[in-house]
Amino acid sequence: MDGGTAGLAGDPGLMTPARPGGLIAFPITPSQDGIVDTDALSHLLEPLVAAGVDAVGLLGSTGSYPYFSRAQRRRAVAAAAECLAGRVKLMVGVGATATTAAVGMTQDALAAGAAFGLLAPVSYAPLTAREVVGLFEDVARVGLPLCVYDNPRNTQFAVTPEVLSHLARIDGVVAVKSPAPPQDQAAGALAALRGVVPAGFSVGFSVDWHAAAALRAGGDAWYSVLAGLYPRLCLELTTAASAADETALSALSKRLEPVWALFRAHGSYRVMHTLAARRGIPGAAPPRPVLPLAGEVAREVARVAETHLEG
């Protein structure tokens, strides 16, 4: 293991905290000039509650967490907690390049009433395994149950099963959000993760276009980008996958393939902001320097939304 890890992780705690599961919806964070639009955020969250998602994932990658100051992230968390009012669990992205900043974000989330923190090993200089374990140990001491956010494309660090075996035994680390592999690898990937974590540890998946197979294989949660705007459709897919309803899964997968194609071609981050703007959400443009999709690509997003998401 890179950097060495012997003796780094503590024993599992005696208490068993709640663990995330089911459909976790990740909305964008509407903003203008770096200021979070709390009214627009609440407008996005209410349909998620009404649809019955299991949790809201605030300030994930779709929610632009690296682009906001601690004050603005605190503003978003406070607004979300007030809007949700305990009706749906709140998971908050707490990743930051410095441990002190991640600890501060976690303290803010805990104080606001969040149920979970979503911690990615964010870095400028790529981190070693020892450094990542140390990060999780430090942040876990805050007392907010943590989900390991494995996002190697953006963080330059892959949470391998070996690394996860150490992280999962830190008191307060209760879940992992792992990129779902292609369909034919889903069962093997899930087994590899399950084999290194304690019983009851939540193993969930991102990458929307592979999530159905991961759920079908027995994954505990779908950390969904699309559910941030289209929760009912994603709940249909979640239910079909969990029930192994192959007929419904096939129909839904066929319906959503053009959406997944857009995600693969242009990135779910830009596509979701374009979809939110199309629906008239104020502050739906991504934070600069990221530019919104335009021209024929934006028109294609609108055509796909009209035909496959809203038809």
Instruction: Write out the binding residues.
Output: 62
Angle between helices 99-112 and 70-84 (to 10 degrees): 20
Catalytic residue among 65, 89, 149, 230: 149
> First and final CA of the chain: distance in angstroms?
49
Q: Give 68's contacts (C-beta < 8 A, 6+ positions apart).
A: 29, 31, 34, 36, 59, 76, 287
Q: In whole angstroms, what is the distance from residue 157 CA to residue 30 CA?
A: 28
Catalytic: 254?
no
Q: How many residues does this entry show for the chain?
A: 311
- How is residue 5 written in tokens? 């890890």
Contact 258, 308 (CB under 8 A): yes
Catalytic: 89?
no
E strand segments, the chain: 22-25, 31-32, 35-36, 55-58, 89-93, 116-119, 146-149, 173-179, 202-206, 221-224
CB-CB neighbours of 62 under 10 Å:
29
Catalytic residue among 65, 89, 177, 230: 177
Residue ranges at the known binding site for pyruvate: 62
The set of catalytic residues is 149, 177
